[in-house]
Amino acid sequence: MEPMTARRNGAAFAQVVGILALLNMLVVSMYAAVGRAEAAKPIRIVAFGDSLSAGLGLGSSQAFPAQLQKELNARGHNVVVANAGVSGDTTAAGLQRLAWAVPGGTDAVIVELGANDALRGIDPKETRANLEKIIAGLKGRHIPILLAGMRAPPNWGDSYVEDFDAIFPDLAREHGLIFYPFFLDGVVLDPKLNQNDGMHPSGKGVAEIVKRMLPSVEELIARAQARRAAASKS
């Protein structure tokens, strides 16, 4: 090969290498920009439950989802908490509306259902089966779950209480869920923290629930962030 031709070929090769390097830098920069955009989006949490989530008897700003979001934002978490609570819902009713109550783009779900099953004396086997299907539906969509436990009133007898109360820790253990043992912990039966019906928390009662649940919810946020990060790399 003549010297002039060799020099030309070498220059052309160097030019191609430079273009490829530039393209690689552009691709890396694009993916980094996409990653930053994803990280900047708020974590969308759905509070999926009954009247205890919906905030029966309270203004919207005093309901559990609103108070939870306010507290999380104050702690530096970029989150939005949607209120998907429906007063009177049993686990069966929750299962029926799961698909539309937890929309696409949801990053995490707090499942708070079962109180109305217990009040109505619904067979714990039915409650367990409904919650199993709800959990399976959310896990099938790869959505992290925080399961809030509920306890049965004593009027149904020891056997019912034992069977019902065991549902929540059993499901949390079997499915590897974040578990908060009792949604009304620290609030139930306290007249200072409940409305006149003695069953639904007041605004102060909800604030107490939020305070106690915060560590579990922050763990839920961490799982949602990890899932989002993994998805952005795939």
If asked whether residues 10 and 126 sit together in one domain, one would say: no
- Indicate the pTM of the whole model: 0.84
The arithmetic mean of pLDDT across residues 26-43, rounded, is 56
* Separation CA 212–CA 193 (nearest Å): 14
* Separation CA 81–CA 178 (nearest Å): 17
For residue range 188-207, what is the model confidence (pLDDT) as tens digits? Answer: 999 999 999 999 999 999 99
The pLDDT value given to residue 14: 61
User: In which domain, by residue range, is 25 found?
Assistant: 1-40
Catalytic residues: 51, 197, 200
If asked whether residues 54 and 3 sit together in one domain, one would say: no
The pLDDT value given to residue 32: 41
If asked whether residues 179 and 112 sit together in one domain, one would say: yes
Of 94, 87, 174, nearest in space to 130 by CA = 94
If asked whether residues 85 and 196 sit together in one domain, one would say: yes
Of 24, 40, 56, which one is at a domain's C-terminal end?
40
Buried b (16+ CB within 10 A) or exposed e, 37-70: eeeeeebbbbbbbbbbbbbbbbeeebbbbbbbbe
Domain count, the chain: 2
Q: Quick one: tokens of 144? A: 């992290």
For residue range 42-59, what is the model confidence (pLDDT) as tens digits? Answer: 999 999 999 999 999 999
> With left for phi above 0 and alpha for psi between -120 and 50, is residue 86 left, alpha or beta?
beta
If asked whether residues 91 and 16 sit together in one domain, one would say: no
